[in-house]
Structure 1
Amino acid sequence: MRNELLIDGEWRKPASPVRIPVISPSTDEVIGEAPDANADDVDAAVRAARRSFDEGVWRHLPMADRVDVLARAIDLIEPRLDEIGRLVTAEMGLPSTFAAMQIPGAIGVGRFFLDVARGSSLTELRTTMHGPAAVIKEPVGVVASIAPWNGPFNMAVSKLWPALVSGCSVVYKPAPETPLDGFFIAEALTEAGVPAGVFNYITGDRDAGRALVAHPGVDKVSFTGSTAAGRQIGRECGGSFKRLQLELGGKSAAIVLDDADLTTTMTGLATGSFFNTGQVCAAYSRVLVPGNRYDEVVGALVATAESFVVGDPFDPATTMGPLVSKRQQERVLGYIETGRAEGATVATGGGVPAGMDTGAYIQPTVFTGVENGMRIAQEEIFGPVASVIRYDTLDEAIAIANDSEYGLHGAVFTADPERAAHVARRVRTGTFSVNSFTYNTEAPFGGMKCSGVGRDTGPEAIDSYYELKAVNLTEETAPLFS
């Protein structure tokens, strides 16, 4: 475990002696520490990235060469996936059985991006009324990449591989709660041959993130996190016209239609509402149910919530680990109390499991009697809390789903394909699932409204790291761009 920062191809002692303790959310014990980079460290990292980009040591390489280097990095990481999975479980509480599937899945995402890059063309020659023109994709420049804590290793791969394969230089900062697993990626990229300055790894608290976003040497900010933080970043980037990619919060609605299969619906809600202890931006935190099936669906959802085994994330029997921190636990418990005060009813859960005062554990919770105007139905809780909302007509259900400042994800559960397509087209979200909770990394993922700007997955993720240059040509120069 390192107490250094990767800047300009070297592991450097940070300018600040301050360290960030990494606290296990399952035991409350300090399991490690990481440097708390200050403004001088951030400046050094951005200057290194700026120099590497301007000199073209990476962006001028053929695409095939960049792909080969990033493929070698994956090959170096792969033998250590079990070790990385254990570390992620210790850092943020993801049950080890899920980490054993999720962490290798991230490697598959990285390889997908490389396959897309191999088959891509960076120049398109067009015939226009003014003569031939070339449209060229060029890397956007220096990217400040800032990740959340709820899927640290996966998010690192999904942010870094598209940015790097496009030819950008990157300064990457993980969340202060989960800084340790990223060192594996930093070491692998360096050993694989990414040139000095092209990838820089800094750890730090929110002040480091603010300094990184504000740095004049940054061309684009890629941020995943809360909508409140996204608003601040948007204001900062707007002043200097930095390119911006934001994947923010959600308050996604799962619309259960009157013909929905109950087993299929509960399978989707078990994952959609409660996976990762509800710490998922795309979670189905609102469950919309028709009046004639309300009691049936509530009963099944309560049974689903009560079926989770809350406990030590390293125990193979555990299906729900702790929240990431005591602070997050306090936040979720506060929202549960708010829901009670607003008049909603806790059908199950609603507190800390008996005998689990150590750690940041919480019971999976289902609220009934929820009105869509309540805070628990409008604000992102980011915990295993599902609010069940009754509706009478399909138009009303769609209106309730759209009555949110967010627009990240959503779902419909129905046996009728035509009704499913109808709902999918009318709900205003960037992503939507039918009869499931699906995070499809081969399709674009992102949100509308206050859920963000841009898309983080699919081929579109790589495209987001390019600027388009139009070159108006003569007939004589056109063949040079074919």
Structure 2
Amino acid sequence: MSTVYESLYIGGEWVSPSSSRTIEVVSASTEEVIGRAPEAVERDVDAAVAAARAAFDDPSGWAMWAPADRAAVMERLADELDARAPEMARRVASQNGMPISIAAQLEGVFPQVLLRYYAGLIRSTELDEVRDGLMGGRIRVTRKPIGVVAGIVPWNYPQTLAAFKLGPALAMGCTIVLKPSPETVLDAQLFAEAAAAAGLPAGVVNIVQGGRDTGQYLIEHPQVDKVAFTGSTAAGRTVAETCARLLRPVTLELGGKSAAIVLDDADLASNLESLFGATLLNNGQTCYLGTRILAPSSRYAEVVDTLTGFARSLQVGDALDERTQIGPVASSRQRDRIEGYIAKGAGEGARITTGGGRPAGLDRGWFVEPTVFADVDNRHTIAQEEIFGPVLSVISYADVDDAVRIANESDFGLGGSVWTSDPERGEAVAARVQTGTIGINAYLPDPAAPFGGVKQSGLGRELGPEGLVAYQALKSIYLAP
């Protein structure tokens, strides 16, 4: 069944697009057309930003509401998304190949968790304080909403990563224009339906789906006050250059090539479910995954065998099948990219222990076998560049110092994990890894903790109270003695 939309959600209404251009949505599992939506062009972006600007500048509008009143609307939005959760998960899984069992939680539930978290946080956050100065007077520090936000959202976790931006922005009183990826527009339209049903004031949330040109136009728009971007490092660098030229605040959550450090006392066999979540979640299409597995030389063959057997055991299939653990990747272009890296890994001397091709019996859909490489040198291309698919590289290390060195010899620093029977030892190792986030015997971002990267993995932080700060404009008022 095809889902067709003819309108864009701008200014609290469903409006006709400015052109006849459309985005055709294709199932990652079947390669069949499953929907269509309008593609926003520059005039549509202008209208969306104007609506957001008017809503923000309204003297009695969203930015001026009491935090508790904004929180109540956010909670209504979460309720409306709850009512649509099964359909939201189905749409995401159909579009980008995320297994439905994962989509049901991360795309069907987690966005509401974030909305409710920030609704609760804004109720208890002090936005106005007076402190003693050092020059004889006092200082009033106020925290106001930063303004109109451009939110650029990728296709791998479209609703969760939109909520990373929506939660703190709405809580602070900002208005937002979201630009979903063209690969995932049907879920964005369903979100718009929820926003309309929740009674968000006109212009507070606007959605303009489109490609790179649409996003670039939105980022450069003169009426935008802040940019929040999640995507590749290459695209993020372009966004950063634009925002630097415009002196526009920007949050960048970019790529990763994280290390999963297996210490010599680790019991991987008892932690395979957690290991899956830290290394192969969403078909490997997750920025923080530890796709470099660092194994001690004394146990290297054992670790390779364990990972090889585990990868072979994974159920590959249609994303809408509840039994599926590895679904298709999001597009034929993405599959071509992954297959290119697999060929390069083999060409540089790494050894494929399982996978490396397309699974038998799945003639339609963009499937790639879960693939494990052994005998990988950290200088190999597959160890240094983000593949964004179900491909793991196992690298040998001599001792803990060597493991930390290898983990840090990367242009990225977003996630990571340490696997050990001694959590205190694991935490000591984790403290030495140059990364924005890291887990011990598991990895899953928590709404209460700041999330983001170092080096080429990004700038700024999302989630936690720190995520709220990114949407604040601070002003100091000096009060005479």
Q: After superposition, where does 1:461-476 map in structure 2 within 5 Å?
A: 461-474=467-480
Question: What RMSD, in angstroms, separates the aligned Cα atoms of the two structures?
Answer: 1.3
1:173 and 2:179 equivalent?
yes
Alignment-derived partner of residue 127 in structure 1? 132
Alignment-derived partner of residue 412 in structure 2? 406
Q: Secondary structure at the match of 1:327?
A: helix
Count of aligned residue pairs for this structure pair: 475
- AA at the equivalent of 1:95: P
Alignment-derived partner of residue 380 in structure 1? 386
65, 79, 95: which is aligned to 1:91? 95
Q: What stretches of structure 2 of length at least 5 have no aligned partner?
A: none
Q: Secondary structure at the match of 1:208?
A: helix
Q: After superposition, where does 1:60-99 map in structure 2 within 5 Å?
A: 60-99=64-103
In 1, the alpha carbon distance for the partners of 2:130 and 2:457 equals: 36
Alignment-derived partner of residue 49 in structure 2? 46
| 1:188-243 CA-partner distances (Å, limit 9, x unpaired) | 22332322222111111111111101111111110111000000000000001110
TM-fit CA distance, 1:264: 4.1
TM-fit CA distance, 1:426: 0.8
Alignment-derived partner of residue 480 in structure 1? none
- AA at the equivalent of 1:70: M
Quickly say closer, same or farther: Cα 1:474–1:188, change in 2 above 3 A.
farther
In 2, the alpha carbon distance for the partners of 1:386 and 1:174 equals: 29
In 1, the alpha carbon distance for the partners of 2:5 and 2:123 equals: 34
21, 27, 31: which is aligned to 1:28? 31
1:16 and 2:22 equivalent?
no
Q: Secondary structure at the match of 2:64?
A: coil
Alignment-derived partner of residue 104 in structure 1? 109
TM-fit CA distance, 1:265: 4.6
In 1, the alpha carbon distance for the partners of 2:211 and 2:445 equals: 29
- AA at the equivalent of 2:343: E
| 1:324-378 CA-partner distances (Å, limit 9, x unpaired) | 1111111101100010111101010001001223110110000001001111000
1:223 and 2:237 equivalent?
no
- AA at the equivalent of 1:53: F
1:445 and 2:451 equivalent?
yes
Q: Secondary structure at the match of 1:321?
A: coil
225, 237, 241: which is aligned to 2:243? 237
Quickly say closer, same or farther: Cα 1:261–1:5, change in 2 above 3 A.
same
Quickly say closer, same or farther: Cα 1:2–1:448, change in 2 above 3 A.
same
In 1, the alpha carbon distance for the partners of 2:370 and 2:320 equals: 19
In 2, the alpha carbon distance for the partners of 1:185 and 1:121 equals: 30
Does the CA-based 8 Å contact 1:378-1:404 persist in structure 2?
yes
422, 438, 442: which is aligned to 1:436? 442
Does the CA-based 8 Å contact 1:89-1:99 persist in structure 2?
yes
In 1, the alpha carbon distance for the partners of 2:63 and 2:297 equals: 58
Q: Secondary structure at the match of 1:347?
A: strand
In 2, the alpha carbon distance for the partners of 1:255 and 1:74 equals: 37
Q: After superposition, where does 1:130-141 map in structure 2 within 5 Å?
A: 130=135, 131-141=137-147
In 2, the alpha carbon distance for the partners of 1:418 and 1:280 equals: 27
Q: Secondary structure at the match of 2:83?
A: helix
Which portions of structure 1, spanning 4 or more consecutive aligned residues, are displaced by more than 6 angstroms?
A: none
Alignment-derived partner of residue 431 in structure 2? 425
Q: After superposition, where does 1:139-288 map in structure 2 within 5 Å?
A: 139-288=145-294
In 2, the alpha carbon distance for the partners of 1:189 and 1:309 equals: 36
Deviates more, 1:314-323 or 1:387-396: 314-323
Quickly say closer, same or farther: Cα 1:335–1:164, change in 2 above 3 A.
same
Q: Secondary structure at the match of 2:62?
A: coil
Identity of aligned residues (%): 48
